[in-house]
Structure 1
Amino acid sequence: MSHSDDHGRIIHHDLKTTDVGRSIAFFEALLGWKAVEVTPGGPESTHFQMRVGDRIACALMGLDADLGVPSHFVPYIACDDVDAVCARFASAGGEVRIGPMDLGEHGRWAVCSDLGEGLVSLWKGTDPPAPRDETAMPFGLFCWDELLSTDAARDAEFYAGVFDYDVKTMPTPDGDYLVLERGGLMHAGVMQKPAEAPGPSTWLSYARVEDVDAMTEKARSLSAQVWVDPRDIPNIGRFAVMADPTGALFALFREASTAS
């Protein structure tokens, strides 16, 4: 099936947080994000854009703590046809959680879950997404996403079927890392979730930073819980994994050519 170059590309992120003020303060202090209120409302309806200069790092909005769902990031995957991709999610055993629906004049949107209950948003905007970065992403922006999966091989094949990705296997010291790509462009990774980690599959978004070690210590000082201390991925870069004070999981990354 023929697709546009942007089909299957992760183009945006939402942060759903149980404490809007605490999340804003944390990410402004750690990554230099600046909160810009877009849609005012109550604790669960106010919408902020978190910006780095003139770039949007993510959208941030409240999540009712009484639902028992921890704060979390949700990646947006660009689609040529949101309804068609929703149908593929459902026929492959996933679930359409919200939509598809039009969001005013901005575009068409849905939220789906995969076989391991990992959540993604699907998006077809009335305007095309920003061009893919040809150089390194500015510091503070997300540069990579991977699915921490309860069954990596199964879920890689699931997403390959839904988005017509090819699956590339990259051996690592911790086991095979699966990359979802099409036309030679890498879109996301899939990694086996540690057996001791509870809960469903979840997407992990990597923010590019200048110094992973220094930023990890800064995150600790801001009450983050560090899950994976800074470590190297041979020939790739250096990373750490942590959760913000409200429980939202994310990672820091610096590429190998200049990794600290």
Structure 2
Amino acid sequence: MSYRYGHFVWRECTTPSIEKSKAFYGSLVGWTTESMKMPPGAGLDEYVMHKVGDRYQGGFVEMGADAEHPPHWMPYVSVEDVEATAEKAKAAGGTVAVGPMDIGVGIFAVIGDPQGGWITAWHSKEGDGEAVPMEDLGPGAFCWDQLNTTDIQGALDFYTKVFGWSAGEFEGMATFKLGETSIASVHEQQPGAPAAWLSHIIVGNLREARDAAESKGSKILMPEIKVPQVGTFAIIADPVGAVISIFEPELPAS
């Protein structure tokens, strides 16, 4: 088994309707889904995974009617020891909302940072699989994660202590690095909005995908944000209200 400790390895959508979310992302970015029976004690009978081609990259969980949180996407970071990671989070001023919990196929803990952002520490008992180089990712694949926060320096301090990342910089933008590799960016959150992680999905044509998303019931929160030499993305709230980014990479000049 191979592990990619410190890397983002999974993205999960908590939704009031798995069927509605499956239909939306299937039509927008071509995902297919597959259900997996869960072992006793996992808290749910089956888990619905979404994939691009034959590569699993995340899942859908149905929220209860009495859920205290809105629909949302959450990234998972692979760690060697979930319990130790949870303790680091608490020592650094964060909270642990769920877990550490063993669900048979792995162990997880939902961690809140001091600014209110949420992320999952995860250890799979089956390994993380091989990394796909960024240049080989195509439409429908997750390609990047960013933290929108009310305190950039505070967030940098917290996450470097919890996951062993280091603070970096790219084109004036704060980043998290693992070794020499940038794995996420950090941005000032919009005034009045809570801190939150945002995951990016590759699309072939941003404007077409944005228009399609809107026609399928999404709300366009930010229609077009260009990152020089990287690409352009839009932030949307999908039909159930979960916020996600759709991203068109900038192709290198030939």
Q: TM-score, normalised by structure 1?
A: 0.88
Which deviates the most, 206-215 or 146-155? Answer: 146-155
2:43 maps to 1:47: no
Q: For the residues of structure 2 that align with 1:159 and 1:181, how far apart are their CA atoms?
A: 11
How far off its partner does 1:11 sit?
A: 0.3
2:66 maps to 1:66: yes
What does residue range 160-239 of structure 1 map to in structure 2 within 5 Å?
A: 160-171=160-171, 176-196=172-192, 198=193, 200-239=194-233
What does residue range 144-155 of structure 1 map to in structure 2 within 5 Å?
A: 144-155=144-155
Match of 2:131, SS state, is: coil
Q: For the residues of structure 2 that align with 1:46 and 1:127, how far apart are their CA atoms?
A: 17
Cα pair 1:33 1:140 within 8 Å, conserved? yes
Distance 1:214 1:258, change over 3 A: farther
Q: For the residues of structure 2 that align with 1:211 and 1:80, how far apart are their CA atoms?
A: 38
Match of 2:90, SS state, is: helix
How far off its partner does 1:168 sit?
A: 1.2
Q: For the residues of structure 1 that align with 2:4 and 2:58, how far apart are their CA atoms?
A: 19
* AA matched with 1:240: A
* AA matched with 1:225: K
Q: For the residues of structure 2 that align with 1:219 and 1:110, how far apart are their CA atoms?
A: 32
Residue matched to 1:244:
238
How far off its partner does 1:92 sit?
A: 0.5
Q: TM-score, normalised by structure 2?
A: 0.90
How far off its partner does 1:95 sit?
A: 0.6
Match of 2:136, SS state, is: coil
How many matched pairs? 246
Cα pair 1:33 1:57 within 8 Å, conserved? no
Residue matched to 1:15:
13
How far off its partner does 1:113 sit?
A: 0.8
Question: Unpaired runs of 5+ in structure 2?
Answer: 39-43
Match of 2:251, SS state, is: helix
How far off its partner does 1:60 sit?
A: 0.5
Cα pair 1:45 1:62 within 8 Å, conserved? no
Deviations 1:164-195 (A, max 9, x none): 21111234xxxx52110021112211111111
Cα pair 2:86 2:100 within 8 Å, conserved? yes
Which residue among 30, 33, 36 is the counterpart of 1:32? Answer: 30
Residue matched to 2:250:
256
Cα pair 1:223 1:244 within 8 Å, conserved? yes
Identical aligned residues as a percent: 28
Deviation >6 Å, runs of 4+: none
Deviations 1:135-192 (A, max 9, x none): 3312101110111112122112210121221111234xxxx52110021112211111
What does residue range 70-89 of structure 1 map to in structure 2 within 5 Å?
A: 70-89=70-89
Match of 1:257, SS state, is: coil
Question: Unpaired runs of 5+ in structure 1?
Answer: none
Cα pair 2:231 2:248 within 8 Å, conserved? yes
